[in-house]
Amino acid sequence: MPYRKVVLANAGVHHIFTRSIAGFRIFNSDKDYERMRQVMIFYSLKKPPCKFSLFVSSLKNDLGILDFKNKLVRILAYCLMPTHIHIIAEQIADNGISHYVNLILKSYSKYFNVKYKRKGPLWEGRFRNVLVETDDQLLHLTRYVHLNPVSSSLVDTPQDWRFSSYWEYTNENAAGGAQKICEYSRYLSMNTAVYKKFVDDRIDYQRELEHIKHLTFE
């Protein structure tokens, strides 16, 4: 197995990217997106109490009852797209990012194949990652991730896309009662209105992100 160009070290923040095989659509409904959101929350735990499929089918299907003090990773931002996923995460346990990504992809693949009566792998090889070296890079990278649905012409504005962390960055309260995923305050400190303006004022910015191009996978 080839070595990664960028080592996944503890306390390192990485832009993680993975796509489906041959551009296959991996999210076909709001329930599919929400399933992945829940899987992302659940498997951030260092020692999950059981498989997520068992947890979600139990009478205690409530992520709020879990203790998230010990984690594999700390999610800083994310965006779920029809054929791929962007996650910005800090590794906080040995081998945390690799273990975390493998768990969420495996869990979602099983759910998807059962639901849609499908067999075989869902994801295109191993995930890709790139190290984020400064807070300024991180700030601009979150904008890139949150604008992904806009640059892909899925929506006109990032607030129209409900399957990213943009709403966590721009709203004090969780949208629709959904549990928040991200913990970015130790890296990014900003007023929600200021961040919204930072993103919304540059809807076409994706084409101009030369100074963080090495952090993306285009």
The structural domains of the chain, ordered by start, are 13-209 (3.30.70.1290)
- pTM given for the model: 0.86
Amino acid in the structure at residue 86: H
- CA 12 – CA 210 distance, rounded (Å): 22
- The DSSP symbol for 59 reads T
Residue where the block lists tokens 């997520």:
52
Q: What is the predicted pLDDT for the residue at 210? A: 46
Per residue in 28-64, pLDDT tens?
999 999 999 999 999 999 999 889 988 988 756 678 7
**How far apart, in whole angstroms, are the C-alpha atoms of residue 37 and residue 122?**
17
User: Per mean pLDDT, which range of 55-64, 149-158, 159-168 is the poorest?
Assistant: 55-64
| Alpha-carbon span 207 to 203, nearest angstrom | 10
